[in-house]
Each structure stands twice: as C-alpha cells, then as structure tokens.
C-alpha cells in the first residue's frame, strides 16, 4: 500500500505538481498521425496532463501544439481557421504559428507592433512510429525522442491505435505491469477448468509457449531486474519437472509497458487528467506487412483474438468517430452473465474491455492505503518505488537520466523455456541478444 501523501504524489499530473513536472521531462504521445492527416486540416482538441490544448498541422506540414485559449479574449482556438501557415482565432482574427508567435493582428493599425508582444503558449512536437509526440517541459531540458524498436519497422508492419481508459493513468499502468491477471481476467472457462478440449488445444499449439505453459501455473514467481530504461518484470512458471517458462515484460519510464509479443510494440498510458488516460497501443509484425483486412479490424478495435484467450471474441471496439469504446463504464461494459457462466471468466467481450473494467471499476483515483498486496504484485511495488524516487530526485534538482537516453527504449519483451537450474541473472544475460540485439545494432 501507499501512504496518502505518496498516492497523491504518484497520481496528480497537472502543471506544477511533482509528478506533472516529472512527466513533462519526457516526450509524450498525444495524437495518432492520422488525426492530423494533411496540411491545413481541421484542428484537434488535446487534453494532456490537465492542460487544454489545440493541435494543428500547418500549410507546410508542421504540427503545432498550443494552449486552447486565445491570449486576446480567451476564445477556444479549436474553432479557429487553419490557413496560410497558422491558426487564426475565429473571434477577432489573431493568428498564431506553431511556435506560438502571433503572425497577424488585423484589429491593430498597420504601424502597430503589438502582435510582436503577444504569444500563445506552444510546445515542441515530433512525429515517429505513426504517433505525434509533444514535449511539455522546460525547453533547455528537452531530450531526444526515445528510440522504440517499432520506429524502425516499415510503416505497413506497425499500427498505432488508442482508446480512452476511465481511470487514473497509474491504474492502467499497473494493469500493464501485472501479468498474473491474464490467468484469470482474459481466459475462457475451458482454460479456467483445464478441460480436455483445452488440453488438446494446448497440445496443438506446439510453438506458442504462452498457450502451452501460462495456463498451467496460476501462481508464478515474480522477479524484477533493473534496466537503463526501467526494469524487466520476470514471471517464472513451472513448465515441467525440469524446466521453467519465463515471461519478460518490460516496464519503461514513465508509463510504457512492452509485453512479450510482436516486434517491439507495446502500450503507453498517458494521462489526459487525473481521472482519465489514453491507452496507446502499438501492434507490430516482424515477418510481413499487415493485410488491408488486418489494418481495418485493428484500427476499428474489432480485433478477433485467439480461442484460448477470450473465446474468439473481440477487443476494444470503438464508437465510430471517437476513441471511446463501445463497452464502457457507463453501460457496465455490456457484461453478459450468461457468457460469464458458459464461455469466459468475465462475461465481457474482449481483452481491452476486460482490462478497462478491472481498472475503471476502481475509484477513478484508487485509494492505495486500502490495498492488500501479495507476492505477485512485486512489479507494481517496484514501479511505484521507482517513480516516486525519480520524482523526489527531480524535486532535488536531479534530472531523470532515462529521458535523455533514447537507446534505453530500444527493447522488447520476450518469453522462453529454460532449465530450472539456470538462475534469473543468467537467463537475462543469455536472452539479451533476443531482447536488445536487433534494436541496438
């Protein structure tokens, strides 16, 4: 559990808060590139760490991220005209470029220099991996972009999506770190009861280590191994009398998780404010481009998943034209009690919706003084300690080193079977080439 003070520190991210100042030392994903598809397209509202902002792509293709309120009289720049290299307020025509400079002030006389004295707050932006990134911290502390492996994949072998989580970002992040929940939250009843049918399916997935071994041990041992970007959360399950099945999840500061699948994709849990966050999700393939059909279902959220994970159901399908899931807190995630009795563990369709239910059914900001953590919560405990330590360091003037080390993010999760006699340290060393080699060469 955390104290009241520590819980407040780790969850509050607005301007001037300790965690808010810490997060602002990192580049932050805030839009998909497709949300600003072409120059001079419609502006987009952005809420990021309790700041109300507007993003736009100017005539030359540069992305601006500026305060929503026009410095003149406070009208929302979302309603502005995106034209001729800047965003023009619809109220009096004052116009701003991507740096926040006032380009034109048609209400003033030609000889006036007043426009040179007015700026709208603006932040640096960058584009990589199908995502638009913003840096909201001090300009003299601005680090390079992190170097995630999926940045290097061809565009047709990676897909970026996002959807809304109705909870504080730490709750979503804790869900990404906690891999033991997958033995319960995301399973079919055939897996839960280990039926003959499921045993047969396990045997037929000879190359899928996850299906073979994860269901067989519901009480894995957890270990944490510190890395330059965060840490590995290693879960160890008994595979057979001679071997362990190891799963290495990556936690990367401040809010990234990379599970052991794909070609270095993963998740980012980005706070809109203190009670909602984005779940950014990167799907990747190393072997081939995605088909048009695969792209369509992934981007819509209607993602068929394996019969051993959610009964052949679907993932976080979104309301068309929004990033809100069809199944959400307001409608109890459309829980189906018949399905819960006969098909899957939760009665909720899709792994993403199941995750959202678990996290959003808590209070929007969980009171962590009321928790009772167990042995499988080691990764969650380590994440909280690391985040709080780094926040306190920043308050003492020590900048987070991870933010300035882009190659610390060139990593991925992995899983493997190893002899029980091989300790964790040797497993880590033996698998470094698998986890890091491709991205670091």
**Share of residues in the chain with pLDDT > 90 (%):** 67
pTM, rounded to two decimals: 0.90
| Amino acid 183: pLDDT | 79
Q: What is the mean pLDDT of residues 67-72?
A: 97
| Nearest residue to 213 (alpha-carbon basis) of 221, 223, 202, 222 | 202
Q: What is the mean pLDDT of residues 228-256?
A: 92
| Amino acid 205: pLDDT | 57
**Which residues, including other chains, have CB under 8 Å from residue 191's CB and lie 6 or more apart?**
198, 215, 308
Q: Where is average pLDDT lowest: 64-78, 110-124, 270-284, 286-300? A: 286-300
Q: If DSSP codes are grouped into helix, strand and coil, which group holds residue 209? A: helix
- DSSP for 224-235 reads EEE-SSEEEEEE
Which domains does the chain show, CATH number per domain?
A: 27-142 (2.102.10.10), 150-440 (no CATH)
| Nearest residue to 167 (alpha-carbon basis) of 389, 372, 355 | 355
| Amino acid 218: pLDDT | 75
| Amino acid 308: pLDDT | 47
Beta bridge partners of 344: 188
Strands (DSSP E) along 61-197, which ranges? 63-67, 81-83, 86-88, 95-96, 102-104, 122-128, 131-135, 158-165
Residue 441, pLDDT > 50, answer no
pLDDT grade, residue 433 (50/70/90)? low
| Amino acid 310: pLDDT | 46
| Amino acid 315: pLDDT | 63
For 378-425, what is each residue's pLDDT tens digit?
999 999 999 999 999 999 999 999 999 999 999 888 888 889 999 888
| Amino acid 57: pLDDT | 98
């Amino acid at each position: 559990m955390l104290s009241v003070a520590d819980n407040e520190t780790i969850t509050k991210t607005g301007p001037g808060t300790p965690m808010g100042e810490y997060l602002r030392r990192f580049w932050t994903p805030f839009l998909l590139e497709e949300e600003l598809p072409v120059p001079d397209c419609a502006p987009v509202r952005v809420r990021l760490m309790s700041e109300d902002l507007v993003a736009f792509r100017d005539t030359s293709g540069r992305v601006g991220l500026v305060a929503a309120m026009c410095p003149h009289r406070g009208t929302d720049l979302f309603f502005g005209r995106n034209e001729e290299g800047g965003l023009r307020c619809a109220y009096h025509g004052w116009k701003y470029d991507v740096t926040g400079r006032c380009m034109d002030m048609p209400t003033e006389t030609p000889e006036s220099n007043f426009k040179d004295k007015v700026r709208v707050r603006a932040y640096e932006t960058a584009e990589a991996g199908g995502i638009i990134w913003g840096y909201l911290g001090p300009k003299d502390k601005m680090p390079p972009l992190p170097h995630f492996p999926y940045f290097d994949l061809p565009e047709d072998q990676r897909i970026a999506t996002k959807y809304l989580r109705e909870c504080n970002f730490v709750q979503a992040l804790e869900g990404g770190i906690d891999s033991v929940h997958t033995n319960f939250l995301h399973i079919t009843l055939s897996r839960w009861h280990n039926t003959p049918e499921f045993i047969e399916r396990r045997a037929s997935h000879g190359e899928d280590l996850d299906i073979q071994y994860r269901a067989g041990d519901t009480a894995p041992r957890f270990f944490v191994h510190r890395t330059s970007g965060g840490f590995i959360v290693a879960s160890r399950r008994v595979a057979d009398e001679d071997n362990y099945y190891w799963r290495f999840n990556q936690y990367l500061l401040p809010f990234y998780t990379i599970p052991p699948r794909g070609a270095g994709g993963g998740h980012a849990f980005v706070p809109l404010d203190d009670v909602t966050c984005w779940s950014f999700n990167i799907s990747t393939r190393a072997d081939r481009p995605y088909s048009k059909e695969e792209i369509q279902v992934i981007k819509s959220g209607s993602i068929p998943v394996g019969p051993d994970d959610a009964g052949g159901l679907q993932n976080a399908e979104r309301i068309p034209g929004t990033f809100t899931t069809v199944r959400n807190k307001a409608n109890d995630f459309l829980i189906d009690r018949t399905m819960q009795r006969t098909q899957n563990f939760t009665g909720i369709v899709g792994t993403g919706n199941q995750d959202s239910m678990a996290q959003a059914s808590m209070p929007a900001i969980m009171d962590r003084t009321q928790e009772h953590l167990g042995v499988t919560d080691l990764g969650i405990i380590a994440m909280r300690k690391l985040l709080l330590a780094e926040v306190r360091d920043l308050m003492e003037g020590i900048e987070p080193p991870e933010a300035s080390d882009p190659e610390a993010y060139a990593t991925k999760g992995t899983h493997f079977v190893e002899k029980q006699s091989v300790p964790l340290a040797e497993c880590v060393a033996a698998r470094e080439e698998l986890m890091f080699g491709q991205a670091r060469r």
